[in-house]
A and B are shown apart, each in its own frame.
Chain A
Amino acid sequence: MRLRVRYTKIGKVRFVGHRDLARVWERTIRRAELPIAYTEGFSPRPKLHFGLALSVGHESDAEYLDIDLREPVDPDGIAERLDAEMPAGVDVSAVRIIDRSDDALQQAVVACTWSFWLPGVSEAVASAAVREVMAEIALPVEIERKGVLTTVDARPHIESLVVNGADDGCEVVVVLRRGERSLRPNELLQLLLRGELLVDPALVRIRRIEQWIEIDGVLRAVMPAVGALPMPPLQVAN
């Protein structure tokens, strides 16, 4: 039996790295007394399958984890049990049984929605920068993977870019498509900041809002949070 868990990573806990959080999950699952399955072999490991890694320091409303169990369980109440054992800032928002033949999270997710909180930046300034970026036919950005610098075109990765103003800054929401070489949110941030958005990158809060899978050409949330309104398919507006 395989469970899919949706959880948040908000606040201080956002400074915990992906691998460290995986270890926290292993301990939490044992504490919640879920009958987790282990790998065979000399050094058995619990069978946990994580989705796309989230960089240290970024927050998220929508992280996912698949857990293999060695015997069936009633999924009712498991979200609450896990939630009670995870550190503050990790809220388990939904748990669902999934089919073992479903695509693994790493493959299935085709896009993520990211929010950038730019403190002290006005809506007008941000909107102008966004319009400029969206007007470009190509957006070359230099990225480093495993020590190798390459240039990729960011433009096809950007599904949409929206600015929401507030009193003390503004939020830029972007839907970022994955590709052969996926763009990291802070690499997109470089594009936004190269214009007039003079703000210290260390002060920008980056948060994953949703992860999307594609069904019949339509983007849908991997698994909506329980209690949330049914998540409509993503309307893509350019």
Chain B
Amino acid sequence: MPSIWSQLEPLLATVQRPARYIGCEDGSLSPVHSPESVSWLLIYPDTYEIGLPNQGLQILYEILNERDDAVAERTYAPWTDLEAELRSHGLPLFSLENHLPASEFDVLAFNLSAELVYTNLVNCIDLAGVPIRAVDRTGDDPLVCVGGHCTFNPEPVADFVDFVVLGDGEEVVGEITDALQAARSAGADRAGTLRRLAGVEGVYVPSLYDVTYDGADLVAISPRFDDVPAVVNKRTIADLADWPYPKHQLVPLTEVVHDRLNVEVFRGCTRGCRFCQAGMITRPVRERPAEQVRTMVADGLRRTGYDEVALTSLSTADFSGIADVVGDIVSDPAACGQISVSLPSLRVDAFGVAIASELGKARKGGLTFAPEAGTWRMRQVINKLIREEDLYEAVDAAYSNGWRRVKLYFLIGLPTETDEDTLGIATLARNVAEIGRRYSTSASVTVSVGGFVPKPQTPFQWFGQNTVEELQRKVNLLRDELRRDRSVQVKWHDPKATLIEGIMSRGDRRIGAAIEAVWRAGGTFQEWSEHFELDRWTDAMTACGLDVDWYAYRHRAEAEVFAWDHLSAGLHRDFLWQDWRDALAEVGLPDCRWTPCYDCGACTGYSIEHIVASAVPPAGGSQGTGQDLSTGHSVPVELIPRRPPASTPVPA
């Protein structure tokens, strides 16, 4: 296959940060293509700096390249300056290892971690020289697939992709490769190949399903053939210990986000935060054995030369024996005290003095906690059952061990939220700053506020999100309240972007037309505030006859057919509905890894279970440790419509 490097080289002299297009990272491979191998191009549809650290992509890169019958290369979305040069020189999207044209690969596999990259997905397909709509692709075109958390409702991008992969990718990429090899041996055409792929557990082929509407309402998404599953189940690896990947983490030559060694310590989370899609769709909890974590950290540091390691998961302080593991890393004599450990997702009720003092022995970065809501009432609604005392103890442990800066994450626009809840954020922040000042006059707190987006496959999937105006009003309320507090800084996510995330998050197949229209109007890199324009989206929605209010702001009825009902993360719908009722009644739910099973469906459906080394929650843990959680009362009726409200007609 022809490399385009020689044509690319002069263009790189003229663009920003050309190092992101050269490959050559430590850990990158030089796959040798052959007609017999299935070739994958793994694509993260955002910049190199954002995409390179993605662990999912790196894991699949290694697993595929370990096979004799597959090769995998990587690429990322070229920034607008290089894209313009590529288009004006007639050059395509290319891989970083061998600088091959994207269309030379058998599979273009995209990681979808965020909804606002959907226009970049379309742009990358187009830049590859492949028809953007699956229906227009022919035998020679690559198969376009998507994986990642967004695929638990892939309907907005369904028309652009040939197949979708749900859940953990470690096993299924091999099975897909096998299916493609078998299809090739059998001389299958494109349609036949897709039909075979639909038979792989965890693979969803949108073109094999009919979508029926009644006016605006979705009635059903059903398979067109008997051998195509009515419900596609996600894939789940039973034991993380079997998958010590990435073994050779990529070390980039130019600075990227999370530029450090990353070791995943567990996957899945059952704290049961009701807003958290990741916690719902990745169940159960599967801890990596502590000994394997130690080995991966030691080998990884030696091999990469990084002086920082992040222990990643959805809630790392919950890892059994976390303080010991952190202690061993920072006091390793080989590291000479130069290794710092970061724990990106910390629950305050699991962050005790022990972890703080171990972490505090090394260089200190920022420390981030996510109380998520300002009052205990609100935290009961979202089932993030941390008490104010837990937060204060955690920040006290941090400040007293030498930290100066603490960052607090909150959501606004949560179900049943009142201004008292919003202003509770200010109270918490002020109290945290007050604790900091006991230890240092320079202590500060950053409050980071994001607008809540109801996500598919969560108890809040029935909730109509706050309007842009309402979210902005709450941001202003908080900002004004904290204006005079010098030690508290407030940052917020643009509510306009939150609206579009909401539409993409719960949208159906009809939304694809709006995505295409925004892309055609030049709307790429929508995650970047300098490129995001709300008007472009609302104009596109209007032009396509799609109603913003109906998609984003409407509370859903119990029986509503969702665009993702045919895709399963294992969670029973009646469990999610009961959890939504419990949320409105302010009833908490304990963490099932340490308390009896409440049968959400994730374990029982797939015959798997938690793998947790410690039978008790971390010290200070309040969730499911004897608190009185049931303070329930009646459910506010206005949030649970009996019937779908009269809706604007949407063209079928």
Q: Which residues of A contact B (CB under 8 A)?
A: 12-13, 15-17, 20-21, 23-24, 26-31, 38, 43-44, 56-57, 85, 87-89, 200, 202-203
Please, how many angstroms separate the alpha-carbon atoms of A203 and B9 in the complex?
A: 9
CA distance A56 to B578 in the complex (A): 59
B608 within 8 A of A: no
Residue of B10, B12, B255, B306 touching A20 (CB-CB under 8 A): B255
Contact flag A44-B18 (CB < 8 Å), given A13-B253, A17-B254, A203-B10: no
Write out the residue numbers on chain A whose beta carbons fall within 8 Å of the beta carbon of B14.
202
Interchain CB contact under 8 A, B24 and A88: yes
Query: Is B545 in the interface zone, CB < 8 Å from A?
Result: no
User: Is B254 in contact with A16, judged by CB distance below 8 angstroms?
Assistant: yes
Residues B253 and A27 in contact, CB atoms below 8 Å apart? no
Nearest to B254 among chain A residues (CB) is A20
Instruction: Say whether B21 faces chain A, with CB atoms less than 8 Å apart.
Output: yes
- The 12 sampled A-B contact pairs (Cβ below 8 Å) are A17-B19, A20-B19, A24-B253, A28-B305, A38-B338, A56-B18, A87-B253, A88-B24, A89-B24, A200-B10, A202-B13, A202-B14
A44:B363 contact, CB within 8 angstroms? yes
Interface residue from A12, A38, A87 paired with B26 (Cβ < 8 Å): A87
Across the interface, do B13 and A20 meet the contact criterion of CB distance under 8 Å?
no
**In contact, A15 and B22 (Cβ under 8 angstroms):** yes
Taking a contact as CB atoms under 8 Å apart, the answer to whether A30 and B307 are in contact is: yes
Whole-angstrom distance from the CB of A56 to the nearest CB of chain B?
7
The size bracket of the interface on B is: 20 to 34
Instruction: Point out the residue from B19, B21, B306 that lies within 8 Å of A27, measured CB to CB.
Output: B306
Known: A28-B305, A31-B304, A57-B18. A16 touches B253 (CB 8 A): yes
Rank and list the top 6 A-B pairs by shortest CB-CB distance, nearest first: A27-B305, A31-B305, A15-B18, A30-B305, A12-B22, A20-B254
The answer for the CA separation of A17 and B22 in the assembled complex, in Å, is 12
- Chain B residues with CB below 8 A from A16, complex form: 19, 22, 253-254
CA A202 to CA B11, docked complex, whole Å: 7
Contacts of A31 in B (CB 8 A): 302-305
- The one of A13, A43, A85 in contact with B24, judged by C-beta atoms closer than 8 angstroms, is A13
Known: A12-B22, A87-B253, A202-B13. 11 other contacts (CB 8 A): A12-B24, A13-B24, A15-B19, A29-B305, A31-B304, A44-B338, A57-B12, A85-B305, A89-B24, A202-B10, A203-B10
How far is B255's CA from A20's CA once the two chains are assembled, in angstroms? 7
B255 partner, pick from A23, A88, A200, A203, beta carbons under 8 A: A23
> In the assembled complex, which residues on chain B have CB atoms less than 8 Å from the CB atom of A89?
24
Set of chain B residues within 8 Å of A88, measured between Cβ atoms: 24
Q: Looking at the assembled complex, report how far the CB atom of B248 sits from the nearest CB atom of chain A, in whole angstroms.
A: 13
* B contacts with A: majority SS: loop
- Which chain B residues (1-49) contact chain A, with CB distance < 8 Å? 10-14, 17-19, 21-24, 26
Q: How far is the CA of A24 from the CA of B254 in the complex (A)?
A: 8
B74 to chain A, nearest CB (A): 15
For B25, give the chain A residue with the smallest CB separation: A87
Is B428 positioned at the interface, with any CB of A under 8 Å from its CB?
no
Within B298-351, the residues touching A (CB, 8 Å) are 302-307, 338
Q: Can you name the residue of chain A whose Cβ is closest to the Cβ of B339?
A: A30
Instruction: Please measure, in the bound complex, the distance between the C-alpha atom of A28 and the C-alpha atom of B253, giving whole angstroms.
Output: 11
Contact B253 A20 (CB under 8 A): yes
**A176 to B307, alpha carbons, bound, how many Å?**
39
Most B CB within 10 A of own CB, among A23, A38, A43: A23
Q: B12 CB to closest chain A CB, in angstroms?
A: 6
Residue B197 lies at the interface, judged by CB distance under 8 Å to chain A = no
A203–B12 Cα distance when bound, in Å, is 10
CB distance from B219 to the nearest CB of A (A): 54
Residue of A nearest to B253 (CB): A16
Beta-carbon contact of A43 and B363 below 8 Å: yes
- The yes or no answer to B514 lying at the interface (CB within 8 A) is no
B28 to chain A, nearest CB (A): 10
Report whether B13 and A57 are in contact in the complex, using a CB–CB cutoff of 8 Å: yes
Residues of A contacting B19 with CB < 8 Å? 15-17, 20, 56
Q: Which residues of B contact A28 (CB under 8 A)?
A: 305
In the assembled complex, the Cα of A29 lies from the Cα of B24 at a distance in Å of 18
Q: A128: shortest Cβ distance to chain B, in Å?
A: 25
Most interface-central of B24, B251, B302, B307 (chain A CB within 10 A): B24
Q: How far is the CA of A57 from the CA of B8 in the complex (A)?
A: 13
Provide the residues of chain A in CB contact with B306, threshold 8 Å.
Answer: 27
> How far does the Cβ of B510 sit from chain A's closest Cβ, in whole Å?
43
Distance between Cα atoms of A211 and B471 in the complex (Å):
59
A residues in contact with B338, CB < 8 Å: 38, 44
Task: Pick the contact of B21: A13, A15, A24, A38 (CB < 8 A).
Answer: A15
Residues of A within 8 A of B13 (CB): 57, 202
CB-CB under 8 A for A87 and B24, given A20-B254, A57-B18, A202-B10: yes
Q: Which residues of B contact A29 (CB under 8 A)?
A: 305
A202 contact set on B, CB distance < 8 A: 10-11, 13-14
- Considering only residues 280-297 of chain B, those with a C-beta below 8 Å from chain A are none
Contact B24–A27 (Cβ < 8 Å): no
For the complex, give the distance between the alpha carbons of A13 and B21 in Å. 11
A56 to B24, CA, bound (A): 16
A200 contacts across to B, CB distance below 8 A: 10
8 Å CB contacts to A: which residues of B548-589?
A: none
Interface string of B215-256 (1 = CB under 8 A from A): 000000000000000000000000000000000000101110
- In the complex, which of the residues A15, A20, A31 has the most CB atoms of chain B within 10 Å of its own CB atom? A15
A13 B18 Cβ-Cβ under 8 A? no
User: In the complex, which residues of chain A have a beta carbon less than 8 angstroms from the beta carbon of B12?
Assistant: 15, 57
| A57-B10 Cα distance, complex, nearest whole Å | 10
Output the nearest chain A residue to B26 by Cβ-Cβ distance: A87
List of B residues within 8 angstroms of A203 by Cβ: 10
| B302 contacts across to A, CB distance below 8 A | 31
Give CA–CA (A195, B141) in the complex, Å.
Answer: 48
A56 CA / B307 CA spacing, docked (Å)? 26
- CB-CB under 8 A from A27, the residues of chain B are 251, 304-306
Contacts of B17 in A (CB 8 A): 17
Nearest CB in chain B to that of A56: its residue: B18
CA distance A38 to B24 in the complex (A): 28
Smallest Cβ-Cβ distance to B402: which chain A residue: A42
CA distance A127 to B26 in the complex (A): 43
Shortest CB–CB separation between residue A69 and chain B, in angstroms?
13
Q: Which of B23, B305, B307 contacts A12 (CB 8 A)?
A: B23
Distance between Cα atoms of A85 and B303 in the complex (Å): 9
Alpha-carbon distance A44/B303, docked complex (angstroms): 21
Chain B residues in 8 Å Cβ range of A87: 24, 26, 253
CB within 8 Å for A13 and B22 given contacts A26-B305, A27-B306: yes
Please, how many angstroms separate the alpha-carbon atoms of A57 and B12 in the complex?
8
Chain B's nearest CB lies how many Å from the CB of A32? 8
Chain B contacts for A43, CB-based, 8 A: 363
Complex interface: chain B residues within 8 A of A57 (CB)? 12-13, 18
Instruction: For the complex, give the distance between the alpha carbons of A85 and B255 in Å.
Output: 18
Can you list, as one digit per residue, whether each of B83-113 has a CB less than 8 Å from chain A (1) or not (0)? 0000000000000000000000000000000
Residues of B within 8 A of A17 (CB): 17, 19, 254
Q: How far is the CA of A87 from the CA of B253 in the complex (A)?
A: 9
Q: Please give the distance in Å from A152's CB to the nearest CB on chain B.
A: 24
Q: How far is the CA of A24 from the CA of B306 in the complex (A)?
A: 10
